Amino acid sequence: MTRIVYLNGAWLPEADAKVSIFDRGFLFADAIYEVTGVVDGKLLEYAGHAARLQRSTTELGITCPLTPDELLAVHREIVSRNALKEGLIYLQISRGAADRDFAFPTNPTPTLTLFTQAKPVLDNSKVATGIAVALLPDQRWARRDIKTVQLLYPSMAKMEAMRQGADDAWLVEDGFVTEASSATAHIITANGRLVTRGLSNAILHGITRASVLDIAEKADIPYEERAFTPDEAKNAAEAFITSATNFVLPVTTIDGQPVGTGKPGPLTLRLRELYIQKKLADAI
């Protein structure tokens, strides 16, 4: 089935959606994005993604062409036009097209595009086994709090991790884990404390991360927001990643070394259950 995508106010078959070669998203990665999970045709964590989108556009001085209400309506319409039951909505806003110049153009018209990807997100075979991660240097730019489309290094890191036989990379900077290539990294200590890096420019402020901390708080699972080292991670009782479409996903080996028992940890699986329950109940 050919998808219907959204491009600057138009609904088009995917093959007809064309963006200028002068678009600054294409030439400079001058664009930001969001990924919203969809289950049962409903949007997961929409408010969080909309708020982060707003923050990213403000940080870069890009103006979103739609009001918050219009943006929500477009999300709902793309789900219904594509009869999307489960998967994700990808949204991107670039500064727009202008003759190539490092200086930002004055009054550009932003390029707003959305498309869907249908895929199972609830039923993930990796939950039973957990994933393997490889530790690699974090060589991304220093404003990782802005969700830009500068994804070449994370993409290279994922390829290198896969070359090493792992599923993903955990990135390391100044002796501490920052995050995964496209997810937040967490560990659980031997005494059952959830440890996740504090918010700063070093990591993306994960929407799933925020919800998991909220859930931990309500479930009396103690947590600490602080950086942890690769050694602490390798010696942790459990480890996991969070993201919009992985939810809470166990990590069972780090650089080939089993984490804890080498099986998905009980607290990780409990957090996954609680997270899914809550997010499905709150989906809009």
Q: Which listed residue (25, 130, 206, 265) binds ligand PLP by CB under 6 A?
A: 206
> Residue 26: which of 89, 113, 88 has the closest Cα?
113
Both structure tokens of 173: 């900077």
**What are all long-range contacts of 170-174, with beta carbons under 8 Å and residues at least 24 apart?**
170/133, 170/134, 170/135, 170/136, 170/230, 170/233, 170/251, 170/254, 171/135, 171/136, 171/137, 171/138, 171/140, 172/135, 172/136, 172/137, 172/138, 172/230, 173/137, 173/138, 173/202
Looking at 83-91, 119-127, 202-210, 263-271, which segment touches ligand PLP (CB under 6 A)? 202-210
Size of site (CB under 6 A) for ligand PLP: 13
Nearer to ligand PLP, 75 or 209 (CB): 209
Q: Are 146 and 30 in contact (CB under 8 A)?
A: no
The answer to whether 184 contacts ligand PLP (rule: CB under 6 A) is yes
Q: Nearest approach, Cβ of 226 to ligand PLP (angstroms)?
A: 17
147 is catalytic: yes
Q: Nearest approach, Cβ of 283 to ligand PLP (angstroms)?
A: 15
Q: Nearest approach, Cβ of 202 to ligand PLP (angstroms)?
A: 10
Q: Nearest approach, Cβ of 209 to ligand PLP (angstroms)?
A: 6
The answer to whether 92 contacts ligand PLP (rule: CB under 6 A) is no
Nearer to ligand PLP, 242 or 253 (CB): 242
Distance CA 124, CA 227 (A): 28
Residue type, 160: E
Looking at 6-14, 109-117, 203-211, 253-261, which segment touches ligand PLP (CB under 6 A)? 203-211
Both structure tokens of 196: 């996740």
Q: Cα 262 vs. chain centroid, distance in angstroms?
A: 25
SS3 126: helix
Q: Are 264 and 237 in contact (CB under 8 A)?
A: no
Q: Which listed residue (113, 116, 196, 242) binds ligand PLP by CB under 6 A?
A: 242
The answer to whether 253 contacts ligand PLP (rule: CB under 6 A) is no
The answer to whether 133 contacts ligand PLP (rule: CB under 6 A) is no
Nearer to ligand PLP, 242 or 252 (CB): 242
User: Where in 164-183 is the site for ligand PLP (CB under 6 A)?
Assistant: 179, 182-183
Catalytic residue among 18, 42, 147, 234: 147
Looking at 12-20, 106-114, 192-200, 238-246, which segment touches ligand PLP (CB under 6 A)? 238-246
What interhelical angle do 207-218 and 46-60 show, nearest 10?
130
The answer to whether 196 contacts ligand PLP (rule: CB under 6 A) is no
The answer to whether 194 contacts ligand PLP (rule: CB under 6 A) is no
Q: Which listed residue (208, 252, 253, 268) binds ligand PLP by CB under 6 A?
A: 208
SS3 170: strand
Residues at the interface with ligand PLP (CB under 6 A): 35, 179, 182-184, 204, 206-209, 242-244
Residues with a known catalytic role: 147
